Structure 1
Amino acid sequence: MNVTRIGRAAVVAAAAAILLSSCAANEGGGAAPEESASTLTGTLNGAGASSMGSAQEAWIASFQTANPDVTVNYEPSGSGAGREAFIGGGVAFAGSDSLLSDDELAGEFARCAPGTSAIDLPVYISPIAVIFNVEGVDELKLDAATLANIFSGQITTWNDPAIAALNEGVTLPAANITAVHRSDDSGTTKNFADYLNKVAPEAWAEEASDTFPFASGEGAQGTSGVVEAVTNGVNTIGYADASRAGDLGVAQIKVGDEFVAYSAEAAAAVVDASPLVEGREANDIAIKIDRTTTEPGVYPLVLVSYAIACQEYADAADAELVKAYLSSIASDEGQALAAEQAGSAPISSELSLKVLDAIESIK
């Protein structure tokens, strides 16, 4: 495979970052049992979505305890960087909040067997929280159009009439808004933008993309960068995986005629109600989120993170480790662990069976 200069740089950067993070990841695994039934050995490297970083830490610790002769490393470099590293062969699997695009699927994957492609496997569901740090404001309500105008730079002050109309009785400061977005290519950005485009197209006409489309606001690297910028800034707002919201304020968003707070259950509900993307291979489980639903109890500002793997690997050792690791994270136990440690929503039993069958098909 011919890798571009940028692609080579991404692969090298991912590999270097993985080496640096290896010790920290392994230390999280705890003491291995004196005897283990596992015969697995080797090192498995992955990279990608920072949204699932906390879940990956928990999954890795559990997997390495059960398989003490295996080292798993995951670098939360962002969805775009993870997919690029996987395509170039720098890692054996990627995590991504965005599906592989048609163009990516039409290309070559360095670690996949010649003539074969990659598959998307949904393993992590989480609400995207609209986080804020506004002086004197503890609760905030926003609809999609107002949110779109804030992040596109059309609404620039907190006491703007559009925000005030949604927050009767709240004293909003006459202060400038600092809207923080991801500076790196991010699946979280793509999901956030897709929600705004589908629900408020008149305010957000841009098609969803991993790249934030406006020059307004403040950019920050990764989920942790956005959370840090909102936390340490003044009169700030941003978007991030809900597991990282911490003590920040989190806005309620308008769904139909009601304002809804995020929850894992509400995020899972909208995923289960959404169809699969048409035209994909049988084992490529890509979900088309229904952003415009107004059903009670759903939260449509949600991301589905995928494990991206080869349908068939050129190296059988890669296939063995990827199958074992991905099977563990897609299992009921793995999903429960992520829910406990990262606050994610477990994929439903029906979806889990589809994902596990697809993982079993990996060669």
Structure 2
Amino acid sequence: MRVPRWQNWWRRVSIDGVNRPTIRDIAKAAGISPGAASFALNDRDGVSEETRAKVKRIADEMGWTRNVAAVALSARQARAVGLVIARSEESFTGERFFMQFIAGVERILSARSRNLVLRFATSVEEEVDTYRQWWAEHRVDGVILTDPRDDDPRPTLLADLQLPGVVVGAQSQSTLPTLRVNDGAAMERLVDHFADLGHRRLAHVSGSPDLLHTQRRREAFEKRCEERGVVALPPSSTDFSEESGRAATWALISSQEPPTGIIFDNEVLVFGGVVAIVEASLSIPDQVAIATFEDTPMCRIVRPQITAMVRDPAELGRHAAEALLDAIDGRPVSGRTEPTMELIVRGSTDPEA
């Protein structure tokens, strides 16, 4: 009888002294993600019965046993949820989205006598270490993940820790419940708006290129520009700070073939862009039109007022908190797609608005 390759591998690992299999080991042997393996072992929806049976069989053959300490801890709730924001302080304090999002989360948690544990991190690695610390200290019962990215280590870690979580952001392949935001559709609306006004050279000032929402917006930007016969200038990535928005805008408007329109990923970047445009003594929107993905009162106070995509971050926060509390309480949680943002046209793109 042929011995499965994973069994030989597991015997070698055991010989080296690592004799307690983890969910990650089982997932590797089964050829699936750790999150899917966790779903199968915990009899949760999201995997087929065939996969569930296969995973449980491999777990039995490996001698896997449930982490009794983890189960005991999970039965004693901390009555708190965690949120780590891996952004610079400058970006966070100026960005309305997170302030409103946290307010929405807090509204649901307060109504259910739960607390929010908030932490800032300078990197994904620091964010991951924070989750490990919270789990070890039993500080939180679950976490909300924002800014999904390429090769995101966080869902796998939560599966290993058996710590409930929800993902908020661009569509991803995560096994965790996801509140999906259709960034592509919003970008298409913006490009159509500029194209309808006669623009033929557009630029996109974005955040970090490893973030999925940046990628989805960029993909939609280039595709829609091609469909509308508009030149899409090369990406201008930033760290979401006002200064990086100013620098990216200055580079664009001082080039030999500058854009006639610029789309910014948030209000912090767009105000940095306004500074650069004013410094260059250019007129908005006659010489360069601008729009942003995030609306704020400041967008309506400045002159000309700034065209923006509008959504309700507080509502998104409420939905995230409700989904996470359901997951913590063991209720089935399915992902949902949030409504597409609404375009509000103002004077920064259309002088007649």
Report if TM-score (shorter chain) is over 0.5.
no
After TM superposition, the score normalised by the length of structure 1 is: 0.35
Which is higher, the Rg of structure 1 or of structure 2? 2
**Greater relative contact order: 1 or 2 (C-alpha under 8 angstroms, separation 6 or more)?**
1
